[in-house]
Amino acid sequence: MTRRELLAMIGTAAGSSVMYQAATSLGYAAESEFKGPPNLSGAPKGTSVLILGAGWAGLVAAYELGKAGYKVQVLEYREKAGGRAWTLRGGDTYTELGGFTQKVGFDKGHYLNPGPWRVPYHHRGVMHYYHELGVKLEPFFQVNYNAYVHSKNAFGGKPQRYRHVLADFNGHVAELLSKLGHKGGLDGYVTKEDQEKLLEAMQDWGALDDNYAYKANAETSNRRGFEKDPGGGLSGEPVFSKPIEFSQLLQSGLWRAIGTGSGYEFQTALFQPEGGMDAGPMALAEKVKDKITFNAKVTEIQQDTGGVTVTYTDTKAGGAVKTAKADWCLCTIPASILSQIKKNVSSDMDAAINALPYEAAFKVGLQFKRRFWEQDEEIYGGITYTDLPISLIAYPHSHYGEKGKGVLLGAYPWGPFAYEFASMAPEERVKKCVEFGAQIHPQYLKEFDTGVAVAWHRVPWTLGCFGSWTEAKRAEHYKNMCQIDGRILLAGEHVSYLPAWQEGAVQSSLDAITRLHQRVTAK
C-alpha cells in the first residue's frame, strides 16, 4: 500500500481532519518552522524594493526590510491593509465582482471575519508579530462539547450534542474491541501482554464497566452528560443519560464531525485577535504607514537588468495612470489575479502562476436580537457541524453573557455549495442561511436581525479563497514559483506549504526576503 492510498482510505473513513493528522505523521504536511525574524544586516545603502500587496506577506516584508535599511514602497489595491485578513463591521460597505453592494448593519463591537478566523498556537510567525506589536488575543474554541453535530437525515433532523456523539462512538468502539480481545480476535496482531494493556486502556478510554460494556451509568454520564445533572438537597440525585445505540450512531454519519479537533491545525490552544482578524495587519501597517500607497491597481509589471517598473492606476483619482520603480520587486498578489496582469517573467514562473487554481468558499455573518445559543442552549463559542449546505455554525468567542445582540458565522461551505450560494443575490444568500440554520436552531426565524454574505471567488482582489495545490501541480510548479526570477520574486500563502493560513503568508514572506537579501548582498 502506498502512502497516498493509505491517506485516501483514512480520508474516506474518518474525514479530512484525521487525514491531515495522518499526513503530518507521514511527512506530507508541514508545520511552522519559524525561529524568529531573519538577520538582514549589511543591506547596501539605498537599495529599493517595491512590494505589491499589503496583506500579511507584504506588510511583514515591508516591516523587516524597512528595519534593515532598505528603501521600501508598498502598492495596495484596496483602501486599507490586511488582504484576506479582513474584518467587516457595522457601517462598512463591500462591493463584489458583478456589482452587488452590501452595507453591513452589525451593531458596534460585532463583526464578521470573512477570511481567516483562528490562529493555532504553533503558528509561531503570526504569534510573534502579535506579541511584538501588542495585539490582544482571545481564546478560540474549535471544539465545544455542548455544541451540535447535525444531519438532515439522522434522528429526524434533530441535532445531537457533540459530547453525546463523541462519548458514545468512543464507548461503543472500545466495547467492540474489548470483546474481540476477550474472544482471541486480536491474536496474531497484538501480543498477550499488550492485549492486557489494550483492554485496560479500552476500559478507561471508553468508560466501560467491569464487564467491558458501554451502558448508562455514572461513568458514561460523566463523559456524555446526565439526563438530569447532580444537584443539591433532596432533589439533587442525578439521572444517568442513555447512550445512542451503536448501529443508529454509525448509520447517522455524525461521527464524521467528531475528529475535527484532533487535527494538528485545530488542536488547542487557538486564538483570535480581540476585535477582529485585521488587528494584526493593521498593527503592522501602522509601523510602515508612510510606505503604503492605497487604491493602487497594478496593471503591468516589467523588469530589466536595471530594476522593475510597475504601472498602476489610482482608483480614487479617476483611474490616473502612475508608475513606481525599484531595484527589486516582491509580489504578493494572489496568483488568481497575477495571472491576468501583463508581466515579463520567465516561462517557468509564468506557467506556475497560471497553473494554480483558487478554492471557492462562502461565509455569512448573521446578527440576532439576542444570544439565544448561550441563553437557551448553553453554547459558549465553538462550532456546530451539519451536512446542510451551510456546513457549520460558529458561535462568537467574545461578549459572553451579554444581554444584547450577537453575530454568528452562519455558513462556511467549500466547493459546489459555495458556488451555489454565490449564484444568488446577497440578500437571498442570507435568507437561505437563516432557513437552513433554523433546522438546528428554531430561534433563527424569530431572532434574526441582519446579515452579510461573502463569496470568495467574487471578491475582486483575490477571485478565490486560497491557492489550491495538488500534489502533482506542486511537484511540477512550486519550486519555479519560489525562485527569484530576474528581479522579481513572489510571496504569500500560495507560495508555502501552509496554504489558506496566515502563517503560510508570513513564512513565505520571511523566506523570500531572506533569499532576496542574500542575492543583494552577494552582488
H-type helices in 73-190, by residue range?
A: 124-133, 162-182
Each residue of 54-80: pLDDT tens digit? Answer: 999 999 999 999 999 999 999 999 999
Under 8 Å between Cβ of 466 and 358: yes
CB atoms within 10 A of CB 433: 29
Report the distance separating Cα 200 and Cα 222, nearest Å. 19
Under 8 Å between Cβ of 322 and 298: no
Which helix (H) or strand (E) segment holds residue 509: the answer is: helix 502-522
Average pLDDT of the chain? 93
Under 8 Å between Cβ of 488 and 480: no
Report the distance separating Cα 91 and Cα 104, nearest Å. 5
User: Of 435, 504, 437, 426, nearest to 465 (Cα)?
Assistant: 504
Grid coordinates in use for 183? Answer: 474472544
The pLDDT assigned to 318 comes to: 87
Checking if the pLDDT of 415 tops 50, the result is yes
Half-sphere exposure of residue 225, counting CA atoms within 13 Å on the CB side? 13
Report the distance separating Cα 355 and Cα 361, nearest Å. 19
Grid coordinates in use for 275? Answer: 476585535
In the chain, the amino acid numbered 131 is: H
Report the distance separating Cα 327 and Cα 322, nearest Å. 17
The pLDDT assigned to 317 comes to: 86
Report the distance separating Cα 350 and Cα 335, nearest Å. 10
Checking if the pLDDT of 29 tops 80, the result is no
Report the distance separating Cα 182 and Cα 4, nearest Å. 34
The pLDDT assigned to 17 comes to: 41
Angle at which helices 124-133 and 56-68 pack, to 10 degrees?
A: 60
Domains with residue ranges and CATH for the chain: 1-30 (no CATH), 38-82+279-355+470-522 (3.50.50.60), 88-146+268-274+359-458 (3.90.660.10), 162-252 (1.20.1440.240)
Each residue of 314-368: pLDDT tens digit? Answer: 999 888 999 999 999 999 999 999 999 999 999 999 999 999 999 999 999 999 9
Report the distance separating Cα 161 and Cα 410, nearest Å. 18
The pLDDT assigned to 240 comes to: 97
Under 8 Å between Cβ of 7 and 19: yes
Which helix (H) or strand (E) segment holds residue 489: the answer is: strand 488-490
Under 8 Å between Cβ of 513 and 66: no
What average pLDDT score do residues 472-492 get? Answer: 97
Checking if the pLDDT of 52 tops 80, the result is yes
Each residue of 107-147: pLDDT tens digit? Answer: 999 999 999 999 999 999 999 999 999 999 999 999 999 99
Give the list of residues 6+ apart from residue 30 with CB closer than 8 angstroms, or none.
497, 498
Report the distance separating Cα 488 and Cα 517, nearest Å. 13
What average pLDDT score do residues 493-514 get? Answer: 97
- Can you tell me whether residue 428 is helix, strand or coil? helix
Q: What is the 3-state secondary structure (H, E, C) of 39-104?
A: CCCCCCCCCEEEEECCCHHHHHHHHHHHHHCCEEEEECCCCCCCCCCCCEECCCEEECCCCCEEEC
Beta strands in 305-382 (DSSP E): 307-314, 320-326, 328-331, 342-343, 362-368
- Can you tell me whether residue 360 is helix, strand or coil? coil
Report the distance separating Cα 212 and Cα 182, nearest Å. 10
**Can you name the residues that pair with 448 across neighbouring β-strands?**
368
- Can you tell me whether residue 233 is helix, strand or coil? helix
Cis bond upstream, residue 22 (ω within 30):
no
Under 8 Å between Cβ of 104 and 88: yes
**Can you name the residues that pair with 71 across neighbouring β-strands?**
48
